[in-house]
Each structure stands twice: as C-alpha cells, then as structure tokens.
Chains A and B, each alone.
Chain A
Amino acid sequence: MSGIGGTILHLQRLSTEDGPGIRTTVFLKGCPLRCAWCHNPESIARYPQVHWIQNRCIGCNTCLEACPRGGLRRGETGLIIDRAVCQGCGSCAEACPAGALEVLGRAVQADDLVEELLKDRAYYEKSGGGVTLSGGEPTLQPEFSAEVFRLLRGAGISTALDTCGLCGQATLADLLPRCDLVLYDLKLLDSRQHRQFTGADNQRILENLTWLCGQLAREGGARLWIRTPLIPRATFLEENIRGISAWLADHTLGQVERWELCAFNNLCRDKYARLDMDWEFAADGLMRADELAQAGEWAAQGGFDRARTFVTGAARME
C-alpha cells in the first residue's frame, strides 16, 4: 500500500495530444499560474468545485435540499451556485439523480490511480505511449506525482510530465529521473508580459528550463518537448514567437526534441460560464490557417530548428 493521495480532475484515456503514442492523461487539480487564456479553468483551483450542466438537469430540485449550506437556488436562467457559500463538499452532486451537478476534483490514492491507469497497458505498449501527468500543474502535488511515476515505472509504463515550469528546482530534480518525457510550457518570453498574462514572471521558468537542459545534456534521460500556446493578442506576436525560438536555439543545448505551437481554441467558453467565471477571450474564434502558417514562419526566423517545430491544432474554416 502506498498511502500517498492527490487531487485529480479526471483521466483522459486514448489521449493522443499529450506526448507520443496512445496515452492516458491525468489532469491534476491546482495550478500556480493564472493564464488569461486557460483552456481548463476547472483545473486552476486546488480545491474541488461544483458545476452545473444545464442540459442534463431534469429540474427535480433534489439538490436544493441536499446542500448543507443552502448554497443553491433556482433562478430564471437555471440553477445558481452561490460561490461564496459553496465549499465543494459534493452533497448536491451525490444527490443529483441526473448527473447534472458534478464535483470537479476528487481525492485519489496513488496506487488506486495506477491500477486504473494500467488497464490500458496494451495500448501504451503497442503505440510507444504511456501516461502523462498534466493539469493543473503536477509539480504542485510533488509527492503524489513522484509516487505515481514510481509505480508506473515499476510496472514498465512510460511516463511524461506536462509542466508549466513554475516550481522549485528540487521538485523538478526529483521528478526528472522518474519520467521519460517532459512537456514544458514556454508561453511568453518577456517577463513583464508573462506576469501580465499569467500572474507570474517567467524568471524561474526559464531558469528551470536552463537547468533541465543542462541536466539532460550531462546525464541524458528524458526527452524534452516545448509547448507554446498561440493566443491572439497575448503570445501570438512576432516578437514573442521569434524570441522564444531564438531563446530555445541559444539556451537548450540541443536537448529540445520538438517544439509545438498549439493553436488557440475557444471551446472552453462554456466551462467558464459553468464556473461563473469571466473570460476575456470568449469572443475570439479559431485562428485562420494563414495565421498558423505565419506563426510557423516567425518560429523559423528565430533560429530554432525548423524540422523540430510543429504547429498543431485546428484552424478556422472560411
């Protein structure tokens, strides 16, 4: 028995976007950044949150009784969750017969989680895939993440860490030998802009990446992929993309196997609404194909190896 617990959002099986092969991605709860464009806003808070899915609701009002704090009421447009009162205890979700109320975030034990993850072993093995810890931010739950990696490695499963890089170096040093791939986010090169859009400057992130590359250059080990989200008015700027490209060319000691520029999408609008959060990109559509091509051009001009640069995601259809 390993008694190390963590809080996760959910498992994404047959994940094809978070590293090589067929993977299960574990979304952990809690993130130190507050990226203005965040696509998974339900992963930001460390604590469980409740949301209401309107089209599943049968209007039985069982939940109103179930809430021990009286935090639910029915308004003109539907169920209203009083966020000031809600502590995410989940009584309403437990009582809801229709699955319209859900608790985002659940506590799991590392060994129970790994047992679940091993169910797709055949697919990992046939595809060169494995398990990716993502989030949220796995380094915010370092012991849990380390234990999950340890158990997976022990079972012969390939592991990947998807991180924003904002963590103590010791945490990274602890997790690095336990994973076969690091997916490392580099969103904005300019530290002031980084603070503006994510709530934190990027000094530690760049330092950690530099350290990571040095470590990999000396001792080998994990593969390293860099990921940059392409966000209108924020990261999708010539200066930023060229800048990251140049920085990667200069500082990563040839350790970056792949740099992915991930196109913005707006599909998370409703998630914000369900969590009663505003989102400044709600009105933005998908990017155009020529914009994505432009991003690729900027990336190439910055000096990073074109052959290792990939623009991923969907473009708007005209």
Chain B
Amino acid sequence: MCAPTLEKPKYAIKEPRNLSPRIQWLRDYYFQGVKRKWNNEFTSWTTGTPWDFQFNEASFYIVPETYAFLTTFTSSFRQTAYPVALHPDFWRWSLPERRAWFVREVMVHYLPKEILPGDLLAGARFNILASCCLTEKEAAEYNRLVHGKDGCRAAMLWLHNHGYGNAGATSGHLVPDYARVIEKGWKDIYAELEALYAELTEDEKKSARGGQLRAMMTAATMPRDLAAEYSRLCASLAETESDPARKAELEQMAANLTRVPWEPAETFWEAVQSLWLTHMLVMSDEGYPGPGDSFGRVDQYLYPAWQRSIAAGMDPEFGKEILKCFWVHANTAYDAMIRTGGNQGITAGYGQLITLSGMGAGGKDLTNDLTYAILDVIDEMSPILEPKPNVRLHRGSPEALLDRVVEMIANSQGAPFLLNFDERSIAGMLLQARKAGVEDLIRPDNVHEYAPVGCLENTMVGNDRSGTVDNNLNLLKAVELALTGGYDLIPYTDPMTGITEKAVRHGPDTGSAESLTTWDQFWEAYAAQTRYIIGKMVEVYETSEAVRARFNPTPYLSCLVRGCAQKGLDVTAGGAELSFTTLEAVTYATTVDSLLAVKYLVYDRKVCSLPELVQALRDNWVGHEKLQALALNKAPKYGRDDDEADALAYRVMELWTEETWKHKTRSTNRQFRPGMLSWNYWIAYSDILPASPDGRPKGKFLSNALCPSNGADINGPTANVNSVGKALGGKGEPGDWQDYRNLLPNGGSHTITFNPSILRGAEHRDRFKAFLRGYIENGGTALQVNMLDAEMLRDAQHHPENYRHLLVRVTGYNAYFTTIGKELQDEIIARESHQMR
C-alpha cells in the first residue's frame, strides 16, 4: 500500500494528453465511477454451507479505519454470496484443492466476461470474494482462533488501542514470477508441478504436500481456461462487428488468447495480455484487489517481445496504446468497493507498482526504448492512480533518463512516480542476505534484480514474499514506557463503554522517572522497552499468521512464487524461497527527537526533572508552554545534518533493527526484517499516542517514515537528505555494496517538498538533476518529490510551526515564508499558483 497523498489542489492539475479516442473514452469512462453501467465491484461466492464465509479480515488488520466494519463486511459478503455448484468430490479434497477449484470455477464459469468498447486487452472483472471453502469443523476452529477471547482480532485491537501499532497477515506485497509466464508460459509452470508431483511417493501424495501440488496444478489451468473463454468471446464479438478495423483487432485478440498466457508470448500484444490476465487472477485468488501486487521490472521482461514486435513492424504508438489499456485495467481494481466511498471505493492506495530502469549486472544501466515509451504512457495518462510507477536511479543512470524524469516532475504538482535509489537499496538487500543466511539467493551478481513492491518496499522478485506491510510499530511507544517504567502514560479508555483500564504494567520495570538520574540510564530503559514492544508485536502477528497458514491458502499465487512448488508448501505457509515478514517502524523522527529532547531538557541543560517532564506530558503540555517551547525550538532535531543528533538517530535505528532480526514467525518460520514505510499511521496514531517529549501535543501528526519531523529540517533539502542517509548507516568501509550501508533492506519512505521555482528554466532543471545525483550518493532508498503548491502555502499561513523550513527564494533575497507578513505571503501564494501552470 502506498502512503496517501494529501488532497490535490483544485487548480492547476496536470491534464492527460495525446490520448487516442479509444483511450480517451476508456479513461473518461473509468472516471465516471459509480455512474458506469459496467464495473468491477466485488461479487461474493459461496459453497452454500451455513458456516461459509468469504471475507478474510486479517488482511485488513493493518487498516485501522476498517476495524469498525470487520463484522459488517463479513456478514454482508456472506449474505450477498451467490452459490456455486460443487464438484461431487469437493469435500473429500484438501483445503488448498477445494480453494483452487472453487476460485477457478468462479472465474472461468460464473463471473461474467466482457470486453469494453475498443479495449485491446481481455480480462475485465476480477474482484471476487470466494468462499474460504472450510468444513464445519475447520470453520469452528477458525472462528475460535480469530474471534475467541484470545483470538487474533482481540490481540490486534489491544495492540492498536494501546498505541503500539498494528499487525496482521496481509495479502499481496510481492512481485510474482510474471517474467516466467511471459517467457515460458503457464504450461512451463504446470509441467514442473506435474513432474514434482510424479516424484512423490504414494504416502507423500496423500499428505498435505500432495494436496498442495494438486491444488497448484488446478490453479495453473485457471488462466488457460479463462483465456479460452475470452478468446471465444472476442471471436463472437468479431463476427458481429461492422467496423473492419475493430473487427481485425478482436480477431487478433481472439488469436492472442488461444496462445497466452498458457504459451510463451511472442508479440508485445501477447506479452501484455499474458501479464494482465496472470496478474488479475492473483487479485482474484487473494480476494483483495491489488494490495501491492507489483509487476517488477516491466521494461526489462517485456522488452524482448517489444523488440520482436517493433522489428516486425509494430508502430511504437500502438505498443503504447496497448499499455494504456493495461493502465485502465489496473485502475479497475478500485471498483471493488466502489459504492462505499465515491468514485474510488476503498481509501487505501493499492500500489500495483511497476519498476522502470535501474542497474543490471556489473552496475550497467538497463534503460531502454521501452523505458521511455512507458514514461510517455505515464505522462500522457496521468493523473491516474494505478499502476504506480517507480523509477530506479543509480550512478550510471543516463542523462537522457534524468532529463525526462525531471521534465515530468516539473510538469506536475509532484513526481508522477517514486524514485528508487539502487546503491543504497542494494546495500540493504545484501545486509538482509547476511542477516538471514540467504547469501545463496541474494548475491552481488543477482541483487540488481530486486524491485520495490506496494509503494517502495524492496524485495527480490518471483521468489520473495516479505510481508512488507504486515507489522507497523510505533517506536515512540518505547519512549512512553521508558518514562513510566512500563505503564501507559494515559490509561486506555474504551470509547464504547467509557471504562478506563486500571493501571497495569505491560512493559518491563525499567525504573520510575525519579530513579533515572543519568542519560545512560534513560537510554537503557528505552532500549529495554524497545525490545519489549518488538517482542509484543511479533507475538500478536503470530496469531493471524498462524491462522492464515492453516485456513487461507492461495494456491494460484503460490504457482507464481518460486519455492512453493519445490517445497510443496503454500506461499501463505512460508513456501517462498525468500520468506520474510517486515516490521515497518513508524514515528521514527518523533522518537529520535523525543530522545534528543529528554537528553537536552533533563540531563544536559537540566531545565526540568524527568518527573516534571512526565507530568507535562500527562497534562498534554497544558500549563507547561515554556517547557514545550524549549522542546520544540531549542532541543536538537534529526534532519538538520547535525552530526550529534544524527548519531543518536543512527543509534535508535541500529537498536530496533538489530532487535527485529532476532525474531521469526513460529508457525511459518518467516524471518522478521526491518523497514520504514509508515503509510498513513503517522496521522492515524497521532490521536492515540499521548504527548511526546519533542514538544508534540496529542493529536498533532507524528513523523512520517524516515522523514524528519514536520518543520524540523530548517537547513533545507540537502541537509535533510544527508541526515536520512546517515540514519540508514551512511557510507564507509566495509559497506555492503561498494561503500554504501543500509540498515533497512525494505527501504524507507522519504518525501521532500520543493518550491516549483527550483525547476524553472533549463539551468534550474540541471541543478535539480544534480540534486538527484547527490541523493544517489548521500540519501536513502526512495524519494517522493512534491512541488509546493499554493494550498500548502495557505496551510503554512495557518500552521507556521510546520513550515519553518520553507524558504522563499527570489534572486538575491531569501527569507522563510513563515517569518514574513500575511500580506506578502498572500502575494507569494498568488504568484506561486500562477507559476504552477
């Protein structure tokens, strides 16, 4: 999932361009949303048993906004489910076999198939919620484990309500082995499954392993059978089509679908068709539309077919036309709950990420014609949400690519893509190889094949499930527990019952505030509480991980993840060759700044005692305004390229990441690994976590991922970037990749906002390119570039404390926006909103 971006301004929004009538129509139609006659809304399907259900709630445990609706979702999907006539042997099969058969049955024989007007790709509806296919006994056990007193829902709610964060076994967030399907076809996957099954002994065939392989064989025929249905549909539409051009297209589509995705793709059209059908069925299989089901390096694995088709005379513009249809299809994922929230359904960003450019073996750049064609497609289609592009940059990135990237950034409010930085990312992946003992799978000679999923989470491709949004931990909770010796600072009050919990010590007894007389003692208390909150989250995650491993197999997806067939183990049970779950730390800068403030206020300057600080926090700073001002304005902060503050930032990073590596899931043996995504939790938890020592009152936003706290980066973007790089480990020998170090294999989210004037004119654009090259050297793993807009300037007028760093720079003059008068601010706002056009 992707971090939500703030609402876009109502003016000066970038417009799509260079769209053919076909694409214009499809795009416009898509944006009609609920008014559309056709849509891809969830349909629900049942085995017809009274205990049946479809909705796998653990997949939503990481979305606190849905907690109030979990029961409603479960029962409404149950009530609206269509029955499916079951195979006579259905209940004699193992659970994975039942599920594989059921999903295939729905997709091939029940779900309506349509081709939208002018569409060049088949595969329209895919959002289904299929029966979990449990027996009565299994369902009872599932209910006990999920809804029982000690079930995973209760455990998850406790974690959330007490401000630790959230955890749950979530769907998606991986790059399936799409490259193999395009290159070798599903028949290759099927043949391998058949061979592996044939090698089993009779006893093994009767075991869970045999059942899993049979389930995967069933699943592997789903794309073939569905393509055959669509082929017939295209052929029949062609027969009645009066426009000869369209007729020819439909005939070609019918022909494509007789080959792919079962056979290897020859032409570019076939390759994109194969990719789409294969991808959409992952979403059907998981019953969740595109939660970070990512495509990986499309400009690499689609390139051979692109070259063949270009050589055979395909107009590159037609190739782009096919891709634009693909873009429209990817966006229909949002139709799943289209009626619940305006045109865009669910609030989450789905993050079907595509990766462009980046280095290959030996650091050689892999940018090609298709990279640029896809960038054109992004430019011409945007603004549009899916697929989310990510451009990989590295020292060897060509000038032409940077020119195009900067041009695209200049022409939109923010970059229409995320930038990923290879050297830093790769250093993290190689650290992961060492830490987890998988040096045979992540090596210096193959690590360049990595790709981000969801938003920016780095993983290997085709054999890796790293559960990149499964665990979201508020590091700040450890500061709170260190201040109180293991108690919640403010006891939790249930909003429904109004009952306030008795004060119970949850964390270890690290001593009262009175007893922590030195900074070193305080740090030790913080470290102990950090170990505790990580252990607590691991424990809570285990509850839903274990349930999913037993009851929610995804045999179709398992076919696309190397390791599952070989082990005869579903991907949900730890079948992937690289099987990780990621602990994403949230509130990082707020935590670092809080520690810096404690050190400054209590131990260095002795402005107050620790008990006095605790009281100020209990009072939410009310009546302690001077102390709060000192914390906000005088204590050091992360993000200013201040070596001392950044050294503490690194110490915090090292502590929690080292602790994270110590854990594995018990049920599935997945190794925990560290990352920093923080999605929207920095907003969501700002009302749950109490006031913090950095001066933040309850309710004020926490810090976002790796970013410095709002307004803390007063030394500008380069200082901000340098701090981020240092927090990750900076550079030095020995690095994990050249001299790069990176404690976060998953990577961390980093957003910087610029004034659009930084991109006016060729000279300034060159400077911005150089800034990005500087980022490659000094920065983090991923960067979202935002261009400051007038809306934000208005926000700066209302909340100057968040924008102290915002520099207004006009030739020969500089001043912080928030230090100048209202009248002048208005003038600048008026000018900026003009400049945006």
Contacts and interface: CB of A to CB of B under 8 A. Distances in A.
Given A313-B810, A313-B811, A317-B831, A60 B625 contact: yes
A134 B630 CA distance: 32
Interface stretch (B304-312, B660-668, B711-719): B711-719
Nearest to A18: B812
Given A14-B718, A39-B812, A267-B815, A127 B629 contact: no
Interface string A181-214: 0000000000000000000000000000000000
A40 B810 CA distance: 12
Contacts of B807: 12
A171 interface: no
A155 interface: no
Interface string A52-73: 0101101010100000000000
Contact of B718 (A20, A60, A120, A313): A120
* Chain B binding surface, main DSSP class: helix
Given A14-B716, A55-B800, A99-B633, A314 B767 contact: no
B824 A314 contact: no
B814 A13 contact: no
A22 B811 CA distance: 15
A229 to B, nearest CB: 7
A114 interface: no
Contacts of B718: 13-14, 22, 119-120, 123
Contacts of B770: 21-22, 123, 126-129
Contacts of A80: none
A39 B820 CA distance: 13
B700 to A, nearest CB: 16
B819 A53 contact: yes
A194 B717 CA distance: 38
A106 interface: no
B766 interface: yes
Interface in A107-144: 119-120, 122-123, 126-129
Interface stretch (A84-92, A241-249, A268-276, A298-306): A268-276
Nearest to A97: B629
A39 B770 CA distance: 28
A30 B630 CA distance: 31
The interface centre, meaning the residue of A14, A99, A120, A126 with most chain B CB atoms within 10 A of its CB, is: A14
A16 interface: yes
Nearest to B629: A97
A277 interface: no
A270 B824 CA distance: 9
A99 B634 contact: yes
B815 A58 contact: no
Contacts of A129: 767, 770
A312 interface: yes
Contact of B811 (A17, A40, A60, A271): A17
A285 to B, nearest CB: 8
Contacts of A120: 718, 722, 774
Interface string B811-835: 1111100111100100110110010
Nearest to A115: B643
A98 interface: yes
Contacts of B38: none
The interface centre, meaning the residue of B719, B813, B819 with most chain A CB atoms within 10 A of its CB, is: B813
A179 interface: no
Contacts of A97: 626-627, 629-630, 633-634
B767 A267 contact: no
Contact of A317 (B626, B815, B834): B834
Nearest to A98: B629
A58 to B, nearest CB: 5
A17 B774 contact: no
A265 B717 CA distance: 24
A28 interface: no
B641 interface: yes
A59 to B, nearest CB: 9
B809 A16 contact: yes
Contacts of B629: 58, 60, 97-99
B771 A22 contact: yes
A17 B808 contact: no
Given A14-B771, A40-B813, 9 more contacts: A14-B718, A16-B758, A97-B629, A97-B633, A119-B718, A119-B719, A126-B774, A126-B777, A267-B828
Interface of A: 11-17, 20-22, 39-40, 53, 55-56, 58, 60, 62, 97-99, 119-120, 122-123, 126-129, 227, 229, 260, 262-263, 265-271, 273, 286, 312-314, 317
19 contacts: A20-B763, A21-B767, A39-B813, A40-B813, A55-B800, A55-B818, A60-B629, A119-B641, A120-B718, A120-B722, A123-B718, A126-B770, A126-B777, A262-B811, A263-B811, A265-B811, A267-B815, A267-B820, A313-B812
